[in-house]
A and B are shown apart, each in its own frame.
Chain A
C-alpha cells in the first residue's frame, strides 16, 4: 500500500 511505501532507493 502507498501509506507504507518503503524508501528502498539510495
Chain B
C-alpha cells in the first residue's frame, strides 16, 4: 500500500505542478524493468485478485509515469535529462543480471528474472537519491514520495519477521535485497525526519 501510495503521490505531484523537476525518470525506468522481470508470472500463475490487480497497476502506472516525464507536455518540457543522468544501464542492470544468474535458486528463466529483479529493485532508488543530492533542496511532495518509496521495503522486513515465525517462511534473496534497499534510504530518512521534526524544508547536505 505504501508502494502504491508513493506512485499515486508522484502522479498527483506531476499533475498538480505540471513539472517533474527533482524527479528521476531513470528510477522509474529501473522499476519498470523490475516489474517486467518479476511479474512475468502474470501469464502462467494466479495467486489472488489482489495480487494480480496490484501487479497490473504497478506496471501500467510506472509506464505511464515514464511516458508523462519523457513525452507528454507540459511535464516533459521540465524534464532535465542532463541532471537525471545516472548510468543505470552500466552500473545497475549489468550487476543485477550477473547477480540474478549467480544467486538464482534454480536456473530457469522465471527464477533468474525474479532474482535479478530483486537485486535491481534494491538499488533502483539510486538515480533518484543522486538527483536529489545535486539539487539539495527537496520539494515537500517529492520528499513524501521518496520517503514512502523507501518505507514500503522497511515494512516488508517487519512482515518477513512475522512470516518467519508464523509460517516458517524463508526468502534469503528477498531479505538481503530488502535490507540493502532499506539501508540505502537510512540517510535520506534521517534528513527527512529532521525536516519534519523541525517543520523545515528538506535540504540535503
Give me the interface of A with B, judged by CB distance under 8 Å. 2, 6-10
Report the interface size class on chain B. 10 to 19
Which listed segment binds A: B12-20, B51-59, B180-188, B189-197? B51-59
Give me the interface of B with A, judged by CB distance under 8 Å. 3, 41, 45, 47-48, 51, 54-55, 58, 114, 156, 170-171, 174
The total of Cβ contacts below 8 Å across the A-B interface reads 16
State the majority secondary structure of interface residues on A. loop
A2–B169 Cα distance when bound, in Å, is 9
What would 6 more interface pairs be, CB under 8 Å, given A8-B47, A8-B51?
A2-B170, A6-B47, A7-B41, A9-B156, A9-B171, A9-B174
State the majority secondary structure of interface residues on B. helix
Contacts of A8 in B (CB 8 A): 47-48, 51
A8–B114 Cα distance when bound, in Å, is 12
Contacts of A6 in B (CB 8 A): 45, 47
